[in-house]
Amino acid sequence: MSSYKRTILITGGAGFIGSHVVRLFVKKYPEYRILNLDKLTYAGNLENLKDIEDLPNYEFIKGDIVDNEFIQNLFKTRAIDAVIHLAAESHVDRSISNPMEFVMTNVIGTVNLLNAAKMSWAQSSAADSLSERKLFYHISTDEVYGTLGASGLFTEETSYDPHSPYSASKASSDHMVRSYHDTYGIPVVISNCSNNYGSFQFPEKLIPLAIHNIRNNRPVPVYGKGENIRDWLFVEDHASAIDTIFHKAKTGSTYNIGGHNEWKNIDLIHELCKIMDRKLHRSEGTSAKLITFVKDRAGHDLRYAIDSSKIQRELGWKPSLQFEEGLEKTVDWYLAHEDWLQHLTSGEYLHYYEQQYSHR
Ligand code: NAD
Ligand code: TYD
């Protein structure tokens, strides 16, 4: 009999957002057993969790959510009370060149987890209290809603209209999660969040890529004219929203999470260039010379912007950080962690698992 109050399976915990969620839960809730299940794809890096890997309530499990037998077995052998599902293929450009990988992990992998939860939780009666309930919490994106014109915001009632293979695969997984709630009574919650930024993000996404390239005097690619708009949220604020929703949201509910922080890509890049000039003691305007307009992304959504009034009103969550402060913190982090970036870009980080975990 475990001495822990709950065993929570967090999938994709070695990735960008997942590592922040794992860290927050492991540190804040020593009474929870946190299992981090991750395949360690190119985007999963256990170096992201070095600071908590020896804590007693944390365990890493290497595995693939597409492997149904493995997932079934995991649920049979571990008494999992709740799942926070972040494992996914997450980069739009990769989804354009390899959509099948996205269907496999994001759709099939999610259904494998749902089936295992359904089997494992079949005997348990619905708990009254939020703190004891079984829960499948699915982490999703605002990209499922498609694109906005110059005005309007995505609300929880906005119809799904995904355009990229990435967003279509996430929309499919959201639909499957809701269908398991409506058909089989699986207790689920879904949240759809806007673009995240912060530490430990793989440098293929706009902000870490730009920081990395400016640092190394390489061109900063801006798609099309740079007029697309994204609504940026500091990753630790997303993790705190996930904590809030996990503990307070009604079963079957959906919440949008966002920063009320819209930026045109080109303006954001100019802002980053200014910060980088200052940090690297370059004369003003030096980094901006690296901006290079390149061919636009196919099917590039023009604008994402979230109405997060529901989570603010019902659950009392709001972002804690102003964007200028968050961006400054983020730049400082990447500049101070050149070794982390070096390990990633050289592939050296892949050896970390072998050294730290394979013999445990
Ligand atoms: P990420 O690419 O940094 O991390 C994904 C993690 O999932 C990696 O550790 C990877 O190894 C793991 N993974 C991939 N395939 C797997 C598989 N088959 N089995 C087990 N593990 C696997 O992604 P992220 O940016 O941290 O996003 C996490 C989640 O949040 C995703 O579901 C994404 O759709 C969602 N999301 C991301 C953003 C964003 O701005 N990054 C915004 C909203 C929602
Ligand atoms: P990205 O970080 O890939 O997130 P998403 O596509 O999920 O929103 O891209 C953010 C925005 O930046 C998006 O409009 C595409 C654009 N972009 C560039 O202009 N250049 C780049 O090199 C990248 C990676 C993205």
Ligand 1 atom at shortest distance from the alpha carbon of 66: 18
Instruction: Establish whether 142 is a catalytic residue.
Output: yes
- DSSP 8-state code for residue 306: B
Catalytic residue among 58, 137, 145, 166: 166
Give 244-305 as a DSSP string. Answer: HHHHHSPTT-EEEE--S-EEEHHHHHHHHHHHHHHHTTPPTTTGGGGEEEEPPPTT---B--
Determine the Cα angle at 187 with ends 109 and 135, to 5°.
Answer: 70
In-domain check, residue 90: yes
pLDDT tens by residue, the chain, 360 residues: 579 999 999 999 999 999 999 999 999 999 999 999 999 999 999 999 999 999 999 999 999 999 999 999 999 999 999 999 999 999 999 999 999 999 999 999 999 999 999 999 987 777 668 888 999 999 999 999 999 999 999 999 999 999 999 999 999 999 999 999 999 999 999 999 999 999 999 999 999 999 999 999 999 999 999 999 999 999 999 999 999 999 999 999 999 999 899 999 999 999 999 999 999 999 999 999 999 999 999 999 999 999 999 999 999 999 999 999 999 999 999 999 988 888 887 777 777 667 777 665
Domain holding 319, by residue range, is 6-200+232-261+300-323
Burial (CB count <10 Å: 0-12, 13-18, 19+), residue 344: buried
Rounded Cα distance, 287 and 280, in Å: 10
- Given ligand 2 and candidates 142, 196, 201, 206, which is best to mutate, with the most ligand atoms within 8 Å of its CB? 206
Determine the Cα angle at 271 with ends 305 and 269, to 5°.
Answer: 70
In-domain check, residue 359: no
pTM here?
0.97
In-domain check, residue 142: yes
In-domain check, residue 225: no
In-domain check, residue 318: yes
Which ligand has an atom closest to residue 291 CA?
Answer: 2
In-domain check, residue 357: no
| CA 261 to each of CA 36, 53, 264, 324: distance values in angstroms, whole numbers, following the listed order | 31, 33, 10, 10
| Bridge partners of residue 9, in order along the sequence | 35, 83
In-domain check, residue 243: yes
Q: How far is CA 163 from the centre of its chain?
A: 19
Which ligand has an atom closest to residue 199 CA?
Answer: 1
**Count of domains for the chain:** 1
In-domain check, residue 157: yes
Name the token pair of 292. 């290079």
Output the pLDDT for position 123. 76
Rounded Cα distance, 125 and 122, in Å: 8
> Residue 65: which H helix or E strand, with range?
none
For residue 190, the domain's CATH number is 3.40.50.720
